[in-house]
Structure 1
Amino acid sequence: MSPIAPPIMRVSHLDKRFGTGCEQCNNQEQRKLENNYCRSCGTVYACQDISFDLYPGEVLGIVGESGSGKSTLMRCLYFDQEVSGGEAYLQPYQQGERNLFQESSQQKKYIRNHLMGKVYQNPVLGLRMEFSSIGNIAEKMIAAGHRQVSAMEARGSELLEKVHIPVYRKMEAPKNFSGGMQQRVQIAKALSNNPPILLLDEVTTGLDLSVQANVLDLIKHLQRELQISMLLVSHDLGVIRMLADRTMVMLDGRVVEQGLTDQILEDPQHAYTQQLVHSLL
């Protein structure tokens, strides 16, 4: 991790709301909400004024309870959902000078296929369950413009080996695999085009503890080997403690605290973070 280098990703004042808003909630300064919900019009403010930097080779953890907005934030960054407002810049894209959210759908596809990989909490969202495992990897490579079958096969086999999927199972469909193996195929697919940034959304939720530990070890190993920047969403502070250099705490769609992970775990400032840390002890 190199904080002296410019950020690889910069997000500024990101907003995402579900609903049209009304007089009670449209003005951010005087917004009257119950948690992140407007009682007058029913609008939900899933992400409110979120700003952060992600540095090259850094793992930034995003932690918060269910409904805090962390998964919505990830969906916005990967263009699975449109933002309601805000800016995001990537250093490897146009020297970090163009707001990604205002780019054409064609450019967004390019960014998704070349500069980011995403591993979803639910593997069904990240994989085609009927395709072979190597076919899933090839799909992402074809989307990025690869056409040479032998090169894609070689890359797919290399990645499956890297994530500990036996190569003799490369022609099998992920629907035949366990949850942990499906997550590992997703990781291989996400890495297929050497993206500088990986988005990981609750990747160990629902897995057995021993399987969780294996997946986390794999992520840690890959991060060190590839020096890839990661945004890691979890509601589990144990996962964050193991992997994240810095941590951002979200509550009701807002960032309530951010800093070095050790600092946040040892000396939490916000009442909600204190509560989270105490529940870990």
Structure 2
Amino acid sequence: MESYEQPVLSVRHLNKQYGSGCVNCRASRGGRLIKNYCPVCSTVYACRDISFEVQAGEILGVVGESGSGKSTLMQCLYFDQSVSSGEAYINSYKSGRENIFMASTQQQRYIRNLMMGKVYQNPVMSLKMNFSAIGNIADKLIAAGNRNVREMEARGKELLEHVNIPVYRVKEAPGNFSGGMQQRVQIAKALSNNPPLLLLDEVTTGLDLSVQASVLDLIKKIQRQLQISMVIVSHDLGVIRMLADRTVVMLDGRIIEQGLTDQILEDPQHSYTQQLVQSLLI
């Protein structure tokens, strides 16, 4: 199969658990769990048998309540955490034939720096608050092997302008910026090496409504202009409705429903998804 026909990202049977498990939770295939927690051995099954694909230029939404496993999923995809088992393939890495979870630490760094960008809920996780905004972008470029100062400065200014950071503030530290501006710097940093895939984890949580709207508009604009593939995690179905082409619904570490976003909004099948949609209509 040609690479352009492959999904940009393919995830198969991803599992992440905290704890070794016991007869109670292993033998019953989760039947004796309380949500995704084993009361006998205290093992938490954060992600259970997660499989999905992201196509070229597509935005995939992942929605679910706190504790559903959606942020753990994002941490596993970006190598912030190791998986317990499972596979993931990126079509631009070794023609999509090698499981990135089995790659060496050095290769995983290479994938992070060149093939993915991530925007965290808390900008402190991504940005160095005592560096300048443009210095944060240079940091990502240097990690990918760039050593040309002029090129990095030009690229930094271009990206910060792209996300509407005023030119006179590019050498200012993000610690002085508002939450919305910090998210914009994060987005610019994540885009610095033209990755084919962008991961966004609860990027509007904690922002004022007007700031949320401007960040969401920026994400839509970037996706239209760059045709980049995105995975967007949110507990807010309104955010997913605005951005996502397809949606995955998670509950207690599992995918309980997935499909076209319009389909899920108009005809939700699972009772939990029905509650989510109903809350959106109230």
Tell me the TM-score normalized by structure 1: 0.98
Unaligned stretches of 5+ residues in structure 2: none
Aligned equivalents of 1:82, 1:176: Cα separation in 2: 33
- Equivalent position amino acid for 1:188 in 2: A
Verify: 1:278 aligned to 2:259, yes or no: no
Name the CA shift for 1:267/1:153 in 2 (closer, same or farther; >3 Å).
Answer: same
Q: CA deviation at 1:55?
A: 0.3
Q: 2:9 maps to which residue?
A: 9
Q: CA deviation at 1:32?
A: 1.9
Aligned equivalents of 2:153, 2:30: Cα separation in 1: 56
Deviates more, 1:226-235 or 1:4-13: 4-13
CA contact (8 A) 2:58 2:229 kept: yes
- Equivalent position amino acid for 2:223 in 1: Q
Q: CA deviation at 1:115?
A: 0.1
Verify: 1:263 aligned to 2:267, yes or no: no
User: What is the DSSP-based 3-state SS (H/G/I as helix, E as strand, rest coil) of the residue aligned with 2:80?
Assistant: coil
Verify: 1:228 aligned to 2:213, yes or no: no
Name the CA shift for 1:169/1:49 in 2 (closer, same or farther; >3 Å).
Answer: same
Aligned equivalents of 1:194, 1:30: Cα separation in 2: 41
Q: CA deviation at 1:167?
A: 1.1
May I ask how many residue pairs the two structures share in their alignment?
Answer: 278
CA contact (8 A) 2:71 2:233 kept: yes
Large movers: runs of 4+ above 3 Å: 27-31
CA contact (8 A) 2:133 2:172 kept: yes
Q: CA deviation at 1:29?
A: 3.4
Aligned equivalents of 2:8, 2:191: Cα separation in 1: 17
Deviates more, 1:222-231 or 1:18-27: 18-27
Q: 1:177 maps to which residue?
A: 177
Verify: 1:106 aligned to 2:111, yes or no: no
User: What is the DSSP-based 3-state SS (H/G/I as helix, E as strand, rest coil) of the residue aligned with 2:60?
Assistant: strand
CA contact (8 A) 2:30 2:36 kept: no
- Equivalent position amino acid for 2:44 in 1: V
Q: CA deviation at 1:26?
A: 2.4
User: What is the DSSP-based 3-state SS (H/G/I as helix, E as strand, rest coil) of the residue aligned with 1:86?
Assistant: strand
User: What is the DSSP-based 3-state SS (H/G/I as helix, E as strand, rest coil) of the residue aligned with 1:52?
Assistant: strand
CA contact (8 A) 2:202 2:233 kept: yes
CA contact (8 A) 2:113 2:140 kept: yes
**Aligned 1:116-265 pairs, distance under 5 A:** 116-265=116-265
Aligned equivalents of 1:94, 1:113: Cα separation in 2: 15
Q: CA deviation at 1:33?
A: 0.6
User: What is the DSSP-based 3-state SS (H/G/I as helix, E as strand, rest coil) of the residue aligned with 2:5?
Assistant: coil
Unaligned stretches of 5+ residues in structure 1: none
User: What is the DSSP-based 3-state SS (H/G/I as helix, E as strand, rest coil) of the residue aligned with 1:25?
Assistant: helix
Q: Cα RMSD (Å) of the superposition? A: 1.0
Tell me the TM-score normalized by structure 2: 0.97
Aligned equivalents of 2:30, 2:46: Cα separation in 1: 17
CA contact (8 A) 2:87 2:100 kept: yes
- Equivalent position amino acid for 1:215 in 2: V
Identity of aligned residues (%): 72
